[in-house]
Amino acid sequence: TRRITVRDIAAAKERGEKWPMLTAYDATTASVFDEAGIPVMLVGDSAGNCHLGYETTVPVTLDEMTMLSAAVVRGTSRALIVADLPFGSYQEGPVQALRSATRLVKEAGVGAVKLEGGERSHRQIELLVESGIPVMAHIGLTPQSVNAMGYRVQGRGEEAAQQLLRDAKAVQDAGAFAVVLELVPAELAGEVTRVLQIPTVGIGAGAATDAQVLVWTDMLGLTGGRVPKFVKQYADLRAVMRGAAEAFAEDVVSGTFPEESHSVH
Ligand code: KIV
Ligand code: NA
């Protein structure tokens, strides 16, 4: 079996096929999703809040993204692995973006990178694509800008909608192979999806996008505390893991574990 490539992703849009994407931050979890047939995995900088214990994605470093991405690549054999360029690793300009993306491709072995911003990031996207690195863009809510924009629905109102459409066209023209639309009204996401030739990947963007992405710890119920309204929870891993840890603790305290069958002589 060979890995899925960005060419397969383009072919899926031509055939009108929808596809799923999940985040992954470690080899073990990624191997489960690979076995499940998830075709595209994102080593998101959501690792900041979902895996590394930061408050936001802002503090995540390129070193951290490289380490996590390498683990996800090692844990998978079929999925296309996309790695986020973290905040501060591409905003200085195209050359910095290329240097950062090159590390993720060479050291971690990812097949593509993702970066935030539409018109404002088009020069970065152009140079990466020219250099042979496939780019997934990310517009709408861009969490690396939380200090400027907060976590609010984007693209509401005529002016904001027009800006989102310009951003979508800008990343397509720059050569992006796909674009994430985060937290935008479903109708607007549908319009962007109809207008673009490249696939749209929605998160909190309704049902009309070509693909859907969820953060795996939200999707499987591992995240502590509240999860966004757009998440569908497919399991309650937090309850499963907590129950198992409590049972183990009880068994040890009461002397019920280990049993004879767990012992060697
Ligand atoms: O970091 C991330 O998980 C993401 C997705 C939510 C698209 O950027
Ligand atoms: Na991200």
Residue 39's domain comprises 6-219
Is the distance from the beta carbon of residue 22 to the nearest atom of ligand 1 less than 6 Å? no
Tell me if 95 is assigned to some domain. yes
Domain CATH number, residue 199 = 3.20.20.60
Asked if residue 22 is part of any domain, the answer here is: yes
Q: Is 114 annotated as a binding residue?
A: yes
Q: Which structure tokens are listed for 115? A: 């970066």
**Could you read off the pLDDT tens digit of each residue along the chain, which spans 265 residues?**
799 999 999 999 999 999 999 999 999 999 999 999 999 999 999 999 999 999 999 999 999 999 999 999 999 999 999 999 999 999 999 999 999 999 999 999 999 999 999 999 999 999 999 999 999 999 999 999 999 998 999 999 999 999 999 999 999 999 999 999 999 999 999 999 999 999 999 999 999 999 999 999 999 999 988 889 999 999 999 999 999 999 999 999 999 999 999 999 9
Q: Is residue 157, in this structure, part of any structural domain at all?
A: yes
**Would you state the pLDDT for residue 200?**
98
User: Residue 1 domain-assigned?
Assistant: no
φ, ψ of residue 25 to 5 degrees: the values are -130, 0
Answer yes or no: are the C-beta atoms of 186 and 166 closer than 8 Å: no
Tokens 């999806």 correspond to 193
Instruction: Kindly write down the DSSP assignment for every residue of 112-164, as one continuous string.
Output: EEEEE-SGGGHHHHHHHHHTT--EEEEEES-GGGHHHH-S---S-SHHHHHHH
End-to-end CA distance of the chain: give it in Å, rounded: 44
Q: Which two tokens stand for residue 241?
A: 């893991």
Q: How many other CB atoms are there within 10 angstroms of residue 141's CB atom?
A: 23
- Residue 90 falls within a domain, yes or no? yes
Residue-wise DSSP of 75-109: T-SSSEEEEEPPTTSSTT-HHHHHHHHHHIIIII-
Residue 240 falls inside a structural domain: no
Q: Does residue 142 contact residue 182 with C-beta atoms inside 8 Å?
A: yes
84 annotated ligand binder: yes
> Does residue 181 lie within any of the structural domains?
yes
Amino acid at 134: P
Residue 232 falls within a domain, yes or no?
Answer: no
Please tell me the total count of domains within the chain: 1
pLDDT score, position 225:
82
Mutating to test ligand 1, I would choose from 41, 65, 84 the residue with most ligand atoms within 8 A of its C-beta, which is 84
Residue of the nearest CA to atom 3 in ligand 1? 44
- Identify the pLDDT of residue 224: 84
Spatial CA neighbour of 138 closest among 125, 147, 128: 125
pLDDT at 1: 72
CA distance 190 to 11: 20
Q: Which of 52, 205, 232, 91 has its CA nearest to residue 140?
A: 205
Q: Which of 159, 182, 259, 260 is catalytic?
A: 182
ipTM of predicted assembly, 2 dp: 0.99
Cβ-based neighbour number of residue 199 at 10 Å: 22
